Amino acid sequence: MATREQAMVNTVSGFSKKVNKKLTDVDVEYATRKTKLALVIFPMWSVYFPPYNLARLAGITKNAGYETEIFDVNIEAYNFSQQSDMPYNLWTSGGWQWFGGGFYEKILPYLKDFFESKIEQIVSYNPDVIGLTEYSYSEECNQYFAKRLKERLPDVIFMVGGPNLQQVKDDYSGKLIYDYIVSGEGENAIQAVMNKIEAGIIPKSKPEIIEQHANERLNISNFPLPDYCNLDFNLYSVPNGASSEFSRGCVAKCTFCSETHFHKYRQRESTDALSEVIHFNETRGTQIFYFLDSLVNGNLKALKEFSQGITESGREIKWLGYARHDGRMDLDYLKTIADGGCLALNFGCESASQSVLDNMDKKVTVEEMEQNFDDITKVGIHAMTNFLFGFPNETKNDFYQTLQFIWRVREKNLNSLSLGHGFMPNVDTIIGQNPEKHNLSNNTYHDHWISCDHKVAGPHVLSRVKSAFLFTDLLETVVINPIYSPENNSKGVAVDIRDDQNFGYYSLTFHDESVIKEIEREDFDFDIIKYDGNIFAESLLNEMFPLFRLLWRTRGGFDIKFKFSPEIDWEHFGIEGFISFGDCPYNAELNFSINDDGNWNLDIEANMIQGHMPFRFVDFTSSKGRVVDRAKRLAKNKYGLGQRTPEEILEAEMETDDTNDTIDYSFEYSDTITGKW
Ligand code: B12
Ligand code: SF4
C-alpha cells in the first residue's frame, strides 16, 4: 500500500474500535499440498462484477497452498448469448426459464455446444475437487454440469455451497449428486473439506453436509485478500467495478426476510475494508465497488469512518450497496458519505404504508423515508429502490400509499425501481413460522397464499403488481439509466428493473398528456363495489381503484382498458407467474373513464370459476435447519423450535377439507358503475 494510503488507514484506525466480540477467526495455514481445486460459477447469476464469493474462497485456499482456479461460466455464457439467436434474455431478473425443467427445454438447445466447450476447459485443468457456488437460478444448471463433468472426470469430488444452500431444503436433489454440501459461511468449511480430501479421508456417507452453527460468526476483518485468479474483469458489464463486503448478517429482523437469518450480524473493521478497496483500485484500476452486504448501513459509525477514509485517500473511488432507510442518516451524515464516494443506496423500501411497515417490523417511518429522499437529492446520492406488494395485511389504501410515495419521490434522485412479483412466504422467515399473527392463513388457495380474512390472494397480488408496473411505466423521469455514465469517464452501472412491456394487458389515453400534478398523501376508502356473500370477489373487484384514483390525481382525465386472463398473464410472467400468483383462473376486463372533474364510469366484466379442492393446508413448522431455526426462535409461535404433531396436522387437514366443502368463491360479475371523485 502506498505511504499516503497507509497514513490514511492509520488515521482512521485511530477512531475505529473493534466492532464485534465473540467472533470465530479464520486461520489459514500454508503448506505444500497436492490437491487441485476448480471453483466454478455456472449460470445464472448477476453479470455486473466478477464473483466475489469465489474470489474470497480462492484467497483462502491459495494461501493454504492449494492450487486453485476460478471458472466463471456464467459471464461467458452471458456474453455468448448476447450474440446468439436466443429468443429471450435469460439474465434479466425474470429468469423463469432456469427453473422447473426449463433449463433442459428452453436453454440447453441454444447453449449446448458452448457448454461443451466449457466442460473441455475444466476437464483440461484436471482438478481433484470442483467447488460450485449455487443460487436457486443455477440449481438445475449446476446439476447438469456436475453430471457431465462426472462422466469425464469420474474421480473428481464435488462440493457445493452458496446462497441456495444457506438453508438445505429437505427435498434438495443435489443430495444425490454432490459429495460435500456446505451450508453457511465457506471460509473455514472449504479448508476443512480440502484438508480432508488432501488427507485421503472419504465421507462416511454421501453427501456430507457441513452446516455452520447458527450462532457462529466468522471474523470477516482479517481474511486474505480476495483472489480473482485469472478472471478478466473486462468480461463484466462494469469492467471497472468489483464487489466487496462490509458486514454479514443484518441488524434488522423484518418479518418477511430470509436472509437476516443466514448469519448473525457482525461488522467488518472499516480499515480492513478500506485496504481491500484501495488494493483493487491500485492493482486493477477498480473504481466502483458494490458492497454485497444485506445492508451497508447496519453500523452507521463504521460506514462513516470508511467514507472519511476514502475522502482522505483522495482516490476516485465510488461505492454503492443495499441500505435501510434510517432517520439517523441526516443531511450532514449523507454529505459525509457522498463526499466519501457513495454513489447510490439501494433501499429496501418495500411499502410506504406505516401499518404495513410496522407489520413487517421495518422499524422506519414513512416520514423518515421521505426525509432520506430529500437529503440524498441535496447531496447527490442516487436511490435504487425495492418494493414488496401484497403483504397479507396490506389493504388497498395501504397499496395506494406506496404508489403515492413513488410518485412523490420520483424526481428525488430515484434511479431505479425493483418491483418484484409480490410477497411470498418462506419457511425461513418470521411470518412463515407464525403466519396467523400476520393475517396469513395456513391454507393456500389455488396454490397461492391467502390472507386469514380471505381478502388477499393470488389475483389480488397480481392486480397490485400489474397496477404498479403500469404506473411506473409512466414515470419518464425514472429511467433505467447508468448511474455512472461513460461520459463521466467510467463505465455505467446499468440497473435493469424488469421487462418494459405491457403484453397487451392495458391501453391508456390521457385527455391531456401534458398534465402532471404534485400530490399530498391522502387516505381513501376503496370499498366501492359491493358483492354480498363473497368477500374474496368483493375485494378483488375493487383492486384497480387505487391505480385509477392515483392516475387521475396525478395526470387528470383519462380512459383505460385493463385486462386479466390466464393467457395474457402467463405470457407476461411465465412459470414465475404461477410461482408468484398461483393458478386462480381470473378473467376480467375493465373499461374506466374519468374526466378532469372526477366524474367516472366503469364497465366491468369479471369471473372466476373455483377449481376442485383449492384450499390446501401447508405446514411450515416441519422444516428444520440453521436458518429456519433462527426464524423459529424469533417467530415465537407455540411450537418453538419444534413442529406440529401428526395428530395436529391431521386435524388441520380435516379443517381444510371442511373449508373446501363449504367455501366456493366462484363468481361472475358484470356491471356499469358511475361515480364522482
Ligand atoms: C448482493 C446481492 C445481490 C446483488 C449481486 C451483485 C453481484 N454482482 O454479485 C444484486 C443486487 C445484483 C442481486 C440481484 C439478485 N438477487 Co441477490 N443477493 C445479494 C446478497 C445480499 C449478497 C450475496 C453475496 O454475494 N454475498 C457475499 C458472499 C461472500 O456470500 P455468498 O455468496 O453467500 O458466499 C459465501 C457462502 O455462501 C459460501 N459459498 C459460496 N459459494 C460457495 C462455493 C463453495 C464450493 C463453498 C464451499 C462455499 C461457498 O462461502 C461464501 C463466503 O462465506 C444475497 C443475500 C445474502 N445476504 O447472502 C442476495 C441473494 C443471493 N439474492 C437473491 C436473489 C433471488 C436475487 C435476484 C434473483 C432478485 C431478483 N428477483 O431480481 C437477483 C438476481 C441477480 C441477477 N440475475 O442479476 C437470493 C438468492 C436465493 C437463492 N436461493 O439462490 C439471495 C440469497 C437473497 C434472498 N433473500 O434470498 N443480489
Ligand atoms: S429486508 Fe433488508 S433490512 Fe430487513 S431484515 Fe432483511 S436484509 Fe435486513
Average pLDDT over residues 533-548: 98
Give the model's pLDDT for residue 19: 57
Confidence band for 483, pLDDT divided at 50, 70 and 90: very low
Q: Which domains does the chain have, with CATH numbers?
A: 1-21+233-387 (3.20.20.70), 24-211 (3.40.50.2300), 430-677 (no CATH)
Query: Residue 36 pLDDT > 50, yes or no?
Result: yes
Mean pLDDT on 377-398: 95
pLDDT of residue 475: 79
Mean pLDDT of 509-522: 96
pLDDT of residue 89: 78
Which triple of cell numbers denotes residue 386? Answer: 425495492
Contacts of 113 (CB under 8 A, 6+ apart): none
State the distance from the centre of ligand 2 to the C-alpha of 297, rounded, in angstroms: 11
The grid cell for 438 is 400476520
Q: What is the pLDDT of residues 594-648, one digit of tens each?
A: 999 999 999 999 999 999 999 999 999 999 989 999 999 999 999 999 999 999 9
Say what the pLDDT of residue 185 is: 97
What's the start-to-end Cα distance of the chain, in Å? 66
What's the CA-to-centroid distance between 134 and ligand 2, angstroms? 21
pLDDT tens track for 104-121 = 988 999 999 999 999 999
The predicted pLDDT at position 527 comes to 97
pLDDT value of position 91:
84
Cβ of 164 below 6 Å from ligand 1: yes
- Report, as an integer, the average pLDDT of 245-273: 96
Helix (H, G, I), strand (E, B) or coil at 610: coil
Is the pLDDT confidence value at 376 over 50?
yes
The average pLDDT across 548-574 equals 91
Res 481 pLDDT > 70: no
Q: Give residue-wise pLDDT tens across range 549-558.
A: 999 999 999 9
Average pLDDT over residues 495-504: 50
Model confidence at 3: pLDDT above 80: no
Closest ligand 2 atom to the C-alpha of 324?
3
Per-residue confidence (pLDDT) for residue 17, from 0 to 100: 53
Quickly state the pLDDT bin for 580 (edges 50, 70, 90).
confident
User: Is it the case that residue 8 has pLDDT exceeding 60?
Assistant: no
pLDDT at residue 9 above 60? no
Closest CA to 554 of 530, 528, 521: 521
- In this predicted model, which residue has the larger pLDDT, 97 or 575? 97
Task: Categorize the per-residue pLDDT at 498 as very low, low, confident or very high, splitting at 50, 70 and 90.
Answer: very low
Q: What is the pLDDT of residues 419-441, one digit of tens each?
A: 888 999 999 999 999 999 999 99
- pLDDT for res 500: 47
Instruction: Judge contact between 141 and 148, C-beta under 8 A.
Output: no
Whole-angstrom distance, CA of residue 418 vs CA of residue 497? 5
- The alpha carbon of 358 and the centre of ligand 2 are apart by a number of angstroms equal to 13
Q: What number is the average pLDDT over the span 458-473?
A: 93
pTM: 0.93
CB-based burial of residue 60 (10 Å sphere; 0-12 exposed, 13-18 middle, 19+ buried)?
Answer: buried
Closest CA to 596 of 556, 544, 546, 633: 556
For residue 250, give the ligand nearest its CA: 2
> Is pLDDT above 70 for 482?
no
pLDDT at residue number 588: 97
pLDDT for residue 102: 85
Is residue 158 within 6 Å of ligand 1 at its C-beta? no
**What is the rounded distance in angstroms from the CA atom of residue 370 to the CA atom of residue 327?**
10
Closest approach atom of ligand 2 to CA 250 = 8
Task: Label residue 572 by pLDDT band (50, 70, 90).
Answer: confident
pLDDT of residue 95: 74
Ligand 1 pocket member 46 (CB < 6 A): yes
Percent of the chain exceeding pLDDT 90 equals 81
Helix or strand run (H / E) with residue 323: strand 318-323
The ligand that comes nearest to the alpha carbon of residue 174 is: 1
Q: How far is the CA of 40 from the centre of ligand 2 (A)?
A: 28
Task: Tally helices (H) and strands (E) across the chain.
Answer: 20, 22
Displacement of CA 328 from its chain's centroid (Å): 25
Using pLDDT thresholds of 50, 70 and 90, give the confidence band for residue 6: low
- The pLDDT of residue 85: 79
Q: What is the pLDDT of residue 42?
A: 98
498 or 321, which is more confident: 321
Q: Give bridge partners of residue 181 from the DSSP assignment.
A: 160, 209
Q: Is the pLDDT of residue 349 over 60?
A: yes
Q: Which band of pLDDT confidence, cut at 50, 70 and 90, is reported for residue 90?
A: confident
Mean pLDDT of 53-65: 98
And the C-alpha cell for 107? Answer: 436453454
In the prediction, which pLDDT does 502 show? 60
Q: What per-residue confidence (pLDDT) applies to 20?
A: 67
Determine whether the shortest distance from the Cβ of 186 to ligand 1 is under 6 A: yes
What's the confidence (pLDDT) of residue 612? 95
pLDDT band at 256 (very low <50, low <70, confident <90, very high): very high
Q: How far does residue 246's CA lie from ligand 1's centre (Å)?
A: 15
For ligand 1, whether the C-beta of 161 sits within 6 Å is yes
Instruction: State the chain's mean pLDDT as an integer.
Output: 91
Asked if residue 70 has its Cβ within 6 Å of ligand 1, the reply is no
The rounded radius of gyration (Å) of the Cα atoms in the chain is 26
Top pLDDT among 102 and 197 is at: 197
In the predicted model, what is the mean pLDDT of residues 545-568? 95
Nearest CA to ligand 2 atom 7: 294
Which position has the higher pLDDT, 576 or 291? Answer: 291
